[in-house]
Amino acid sequence: MRDVAIIGVGMMKWGELWKKSLRDIFVEAAINAIDDANVDKIDSMYIGCMSGGLFVGQEHLGSMLADYLGQKNIPAARVESACASGGLAVKLAYLEVASGMSNIVLAGGVEKMTDVDGAGATAALATAADQEYEVYNGATFPGLYAMIARAHMDKYKTTREQLAKVAVKNHKNGFNNPNAQFRMNITVDDVVNSVMVASPLRILDCSPITDGAAALIMCDLETAKKISKKAPVRILGVGHATDSIALHSRKDFTTINSTVIAAQKAYKMAGVKPGDVNVAEVHDCFTIAEVVVSEDLGFFDKGEGGCAVAEGRTEIGGQIPINPSGGLKSKGHPVGATGVAQVIEIVEQLRGNAGKRQVENTKIGLTQNMGGSGGSSIVHILKGES
């Protein structure tokens, strides 16, 4: 398999983009990535999208978006693993380049979530849970993650305030991200006094509903060194694993087993350990999710994630900065695009282009993208090339 590098990234300011359609926002992100990569055509593309059908009544997105991007006739595929659809697109683009099947490949993600009302969005997102056993009985994601939070609080004495600290940190980071949906600083008091959604999770523990797209361009490392005007970022490790999508089928609510397995695979392939990672973007769809996966990725011992965030160990400048982009919480969470945007933030960090969010001395970065309540996880490990 060939070494693979990312040579271009593109997105736009995420939010409630009512004046733009799904195809508009995808093309905007893709053109930005193509410009950044200094290429004029792509050979193939993968699009992560969770539910074009339920959100905008449009499937067959691979073909449609290739056409609107002016790349008609190339192989183009839409891929889906709920909220990990973007990470899946990155994985498959990696495979296509690494195998030699194609040379210049775009990995993109897109979701247009605000064209339906709140109930419609909740129902669409709930299709990432087990429809026959969870959703039929009334469970949607805030409730499922609330159960994870309760279990973690019971078992490890994680506190309400520690969860709030995740949101506070991520909004602080997102304040410096021009593409973030919610650029505002919040306090622990704001979080613990915000509207209750599913006890113990309140509205400021939850990532928002977002319209957005993200895209990146990959090629083999040798070509990257020739054509890229910026330092290429190499994909060192890729890990992908699944689990029961129904929470009640798992032995332990306090660990996301798909993340544990995906991380083990990615670390092994990359030849690095958790302690070698300088910066990480993880899937903080709810505050508790960041706490749990920061442990499952091996950054902290099991049960220490709450203390770690409270002690500032995951802030920029801390032991392992997590979600310098603002995470899903502040940057927004257009579900199909999130996994791609996580990789984009790590690329910007490794390039030293992250502005006020820059983590110093970054050589190795990690992304963790997750579907549903952890029914799927995809982990990528990236390294800056000098």
Helix (H, G, I), strand (E, B) or coil at 184: coil
124-143: which residues touch a copy of itself (CB under 8 A)?
124, 127-132, 135
The reply to whether 75 sits near a copy of itself by the rule CB under 8 A is yes
Q: Which of 49, 83, 206, 219 is flagged as catalytic?
A: 83
The reply to whether 72 sits near a copy of itself by the rule CB under 8 A is yes
- Write each residue from 212 to 241 as x if it is in contact with a copy of itself (CB under 8 A), else as -, in one continuous string: ----------------------------xx
Nearest distance in Å: CB 24, a copy of itself: 11
The reply to whether 81 sits near a copy of itself by the rule CB under 8 A is yes
45-59 burial by CB neighbour count: b if 16+ within 10 A, else e? Answer: bbbbbbbbebbbeee
CA nearest neighbour of 235 among 212, 253, 208, 216: 216
279-318: which residues touch a copy of itself (CB under 8 A)?
none
Q: How many residues bind a copy of itself (CB under 8 A)?
A: 61
Question: 206, 191 in Cβ contact below 8 A?
Answer: no
Q: Which of 152, 240, 333, 380 is flagged as catalytic?
A: 333
- Please count the other Cβ atoms lying within 10 Å of the Cβ belonging to residue 363: 14
Put residue 38 in one of left, alpha, beta given phi > 0 → left and psi -120 to 50 → alpha: left
Active site residue 333: yes
E-strand spans in 97-144? 105-112
Nearest distance in Å: CB 41, a copy of itself: 14
Contacts of 57 (CB under 8 A, 6+ apart): none
Residue 205 DSSP label? G
Nearest distance in Å: CB 203, a copy of itself: 25
Residue 60 DSSP label? -
Q: Which residues bind a copy of itself (CB under 8 A)?
A: 1, 21, 23, 50-54, 56-64, 66-67, 72-82, 88, 92, 95-96, 98-101, 123-124, 127-132, 135, 240-245, 249, 257-258, 261, 371-372, 375-376
> What are the catalytic residues?
83, 333
